[in-house]
């Protein structure tokens, strides 16, 4: 039986992940379901993520921009298509 070794990228603390993040993660996760689909590094993904999963996929700066857009939106969902092939959808709860 083999054991998986954790890489230093995975063992980042919450302070390191959310450095520069402008919103309260609790309010974002409470108000939205965040779905990410498309290609990420050649791997097709289609899954629901939280704020930390979104930041791991797209980065803090871009996450701040699209979450701000989602809070200012008036419809039930907000779709943001990124040039790298990812589509991030925010569904209002």
Decide: 88 and 79 in contact? Cβ < 8 Å. yes
Residue 40, in any domain of the structure: yes
- Tell me the whole-structure pTM to 2 decimals: 0.79
Q: Is 2 part of any domain? A: no
Is 38 within a domain?
yes
pLDDT digits (tens, 9 = 90+) for 24-70: 889 999 999 999 999 988 899 999 999 989 988 998 899 999 999 99
pLDDT range class, residue 7, cuts 50, 70, 90: low
- pLDDT on residue 33: 95
Segments forming the whole domain that contains residue 68: 14-92
Assigned domain for 6 exists: no
Residue 3 belongs to a domain: no
Residue 36 resides in a domain: yes
| 5 in any annotated domain | no
In a domain, 77, yes or no: yes
| Domains: count for the chain | 1
């Amino acid at each position: 039986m083999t054991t998986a070794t954790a890489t230093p990228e995975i063992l980042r603390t919450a302070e390191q992940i959310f450095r520069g993040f402008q919103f309260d993660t609790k309010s974002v996760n409470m108000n939205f379901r965040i779905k990410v689909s498309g290609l990420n590094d050649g791997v097709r993904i289609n899954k629901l993520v939280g704020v930390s999963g979104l930041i791991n996929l797209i980065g803090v700066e871009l996450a701040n921009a699209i979450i701000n857009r989602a809070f200012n939106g008036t419809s039930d969902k907000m779709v943001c298509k990124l040039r790298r092939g990812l589509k991030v959808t925010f569904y209002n709860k």
